[in-house]
């Protein structure tokens, strides 16, 4: 069986370091491993409109920002197909048929949708499109016959929903859709990177992000304002690592070579953590180190982005070509889906012959 990867992001803002450790970094590694037959990276504008229907300009403006972040991180249009969701009408058709296989109560139980509804104050008036976006996500994944979906932990309920739709479809209409596998980050800290405010998840909607394209001064300001252990007041106090955002970020970003470069008095992260727990290590010193680490990680990304920014029409051209290629793949799947559901009347010569025979016999 072919190995196909699909994943994507909503164009609701520039991409942040949570996206990077949760999914983007992995996508680039997988892309460069050469193990995949096809890679589809989707800018999910139609999904972004499900909770931004009154602000299409925001979605429109952010398509290019997400595309630039992709290219800056090393997604290569020669190896990966970059596409815009709304340009693939087949995805809507697939969603429409999948809706018959999902119940309202099943959607209501989806924990990610539940918390997102709460976050957006949608309780009293949930847009139907937003409520059903897990179904449209199943259409995205299955349209490209994805076997692997590298995403952050918040996407786990979406993948479960997709798998259920695949199983249901295949059992009702016959083996047609491919069962996808979720690929979560191995590193615990990257499953759901917290915001700089220590809140559960860094998210464009919560205003607690460090963006991939952020300038050095801004990164520094954000690192120095970061949430740590509120009880670690004097340097000699013992500190807590749990819920300490600065250490979570070090878990997510620190590489062994950063110690000799920026903090040679410690051999590794474990030594630094031990000292913090014992007491005698101040927050400022750890923040200075984290700032150096993040600057080293983000500088090459920012510089590559600036190169791509010089030719914006070329980036739109990459998206246009990618969307065209993606539509061909989705159209093939839709054809197979319609055949399995027996709604391919005009392609089904047997049907036409049988119906004709019925009336000639009379
Ligand atoms: P929005 O607030 O508009 O939903 P978002 O910041 O949650 O935006 P998405 O576009 O919904 O971003 O998510 C894109 C991908 O990035 C998904 O795979 C998601 O799991 C991953 N991701 C987003 N935020 C984080 C995070 N804080 N930690 C790890 N992965 C994340
Ligand atoms: Mg999200």
**Which tens digits make up the pLDDT trace of 147-193?**
999 998 999 999 999 999 999 999 999 999 999 999 998 888 899 99
Does pLDDT of 206 surpass 90? Answer: no
Question: Minimal CA–CA distance to 147: which of 73, 40, 21, 42?
Answer: 40
- Identify the pLDDT of residue 120: 83
Q: How close is the Cα of 335 to the center of ligand 2, in Å?
A: 31
Question: Which residues form the pocket of ligand 1, taking CB atoms under 6 Å from any ligand atom?
Answer: 9-10, 12, 18-19, 22-23, 151-152, 154-155, 192-193, 201-205
Q: Which is more confidently placed, 117 or 273?
A: 273
Cβ distance 2 to 145 under 8 Å?
A: yes
CA distance 39 to 57: 28
Count Cβ atoms below 10 Å from residue 8 Cβ, excluding itself. Answer: 25
To 10 degrees, what angle do helices 269-278 and 245-253 make?
Answer: 170
Q: How close is the Cα of 203 to the center of ligand 2, in Å?
A: 7
CA distances from 215 to 127, 144, 315, 347 (A): 37, 36, 22, 57
pLDDT digits (tens, 9 = 90+) for 35-53: 999 999 999 999 999 999 9
How confident is residue 287, by pLDDT bands cut at 50, 70 and 90? Answer: very high
Does pLDDT of 362 surpass 70? Answer: no
Q: How close is the Cα of 351 to the center of ligand 1, in Å?
A: 47
Mean pLDDT of 199-225: 92
Q: How close is the Cα of 234 to the center of ligand 2, in Å?
A: 37
Q: How close is the Cα of 10 to the center of ligand 2, in Å?
A: 7
Nearest atom, ligand 1, residue 10 CA: 10
- Identify the pLDDT of residue 204: 80
How confident is residue 205, by pLDDT bands cut at 50, 70 and 90? Answer: confident
Q: How close is the Cα of 23 to the center of ligand 1, in Å?
A: 9
Q: How close is the Cα of 202 to the center of ligand 2, in Å?
A: 10
Mean pLDDT of 57-79: 98
Q: Which is more confidently placed, 119 or 133?
A: 133
pLDDT digits (tens, 9 = 90+) for 129-155: 999 999 999 999 999 999 999 998 999
Mutation test residue for ligand 1: of 154, 200, 212, the one with most atoms within 8 Å of CB: 154
Mutation test residue for ligand 1: of 6, 12, 19, the one with most atoms within 8 Å of CB: 19
Ligand index nearest the alpha carbon of residue 152 = 1
Q: Report the relative pairing of strands 148-150 and 81-84 from DSSP bridges.
A: unpaired
Mean pLDDT of 286-298: 98
* Among the ranges given (122-126, 157-161, 332-336), the one the predictor scored with the smallest mean pLDDT: 122-126
Which residue's CA is minimally distant from atom 23 of ligand 1?
Answer: 19
Nearest atom, ligand 1, residue 195 CA: 27
Q: Which is more confidently placed, 100 or 360?
A: 100
Residues with Cβ < 8 Å from 213, sequence gap 6 or more? 14, 65, 68, 69, 72, 301, 302, 305
Which residue's CA is minimally distant from atom 25 of ligand 1?
Answer: 18
How confident is residue 301, by pLDDT bands cut at 50, 70 and 90? Answer: very high
- Identify the pLDDT of residue 207: 83
Mean pLDDT of 274-302: 97
Q: How close is the Cα of 26 to the center of ligand 1, in Å?
A: 14
Which residue's CA is minimally distant from atom 13 of ligand 1?
Answer: 9
Q: What is the mean pLDDT of the chain?
A: 95
CA distance 78 to 8: 17
């Amino acid at each position: 069986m072919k190995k196909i990867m699909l994943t994507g992001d909503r164009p609701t803002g520039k991409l942040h370091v949570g996206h990077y450790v949760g999914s983007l970094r992995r996508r680039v590694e997988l892309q460069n491993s050469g193990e995949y037959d096809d890679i589809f990276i989707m800018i999910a504008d139609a999904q972004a409109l499900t909770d931004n229907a009154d602000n299409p300009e925001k979605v429109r403006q952010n398509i290019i920002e997400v595309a630039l972040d992709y290219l800056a991180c090393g997604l290569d249009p020669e190896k990966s197909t970059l596409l815009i969701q709304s340009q693939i009408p087949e995805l809507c058709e697939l969603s429409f048929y999948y809706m018959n296989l999902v119940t309202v109560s099943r959607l209501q139980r989806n924990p990610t949708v539940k918390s997102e509804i709460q976050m957006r104050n949608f309780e009293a008036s949930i847009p139907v499109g937003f409520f059903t976006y897990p179904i449209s996500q199943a259409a995205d994944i299955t349209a490209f016959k994805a076997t692997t979906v590298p995403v952050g932990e918040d996407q786990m309920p979406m993948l479960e929903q997709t798998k259920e739709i695949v199983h249901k479809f295949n059992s009702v209409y016959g083996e047609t859709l491919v069962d996808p596998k979720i690929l979560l980050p191995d590193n615990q800290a990257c499953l759901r990177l917290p915001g700089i405010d220590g809140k559960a998840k860094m998210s464009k909607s919560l205003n607690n992000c460090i963006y991939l394209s952020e300038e050095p001064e801004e990164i520094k300001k954000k690192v120095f304002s970061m949430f740590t252990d509120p009880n670690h007041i004097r340097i000699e106090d013992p500190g807590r690592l749990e819920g300490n955002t600065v250490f979570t970020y070090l878990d997510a970003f620190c590489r062994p070579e950063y110690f000799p470069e920026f903090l040679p008095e410690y051999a590794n992260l474990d030594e630094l953590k031990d000292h913090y727990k014992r007491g005698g290590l101040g927050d400022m010193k750890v923040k200075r180190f984290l700032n150096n680490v993040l600057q080293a990680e983000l500088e090459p990304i920012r510089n590559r982005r600036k190169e791509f920014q010089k030719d914006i029409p070329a980036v739109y051209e990459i998206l246009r070509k990618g969307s065209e290629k993606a539509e061909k793949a989705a159209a093939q799947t839709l054809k197979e889906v319609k055949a399995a559901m027996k709604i391919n009347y005009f392609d089904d010569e047997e049907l036409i012959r049988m119906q004709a025979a019925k009336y000639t016999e009379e």
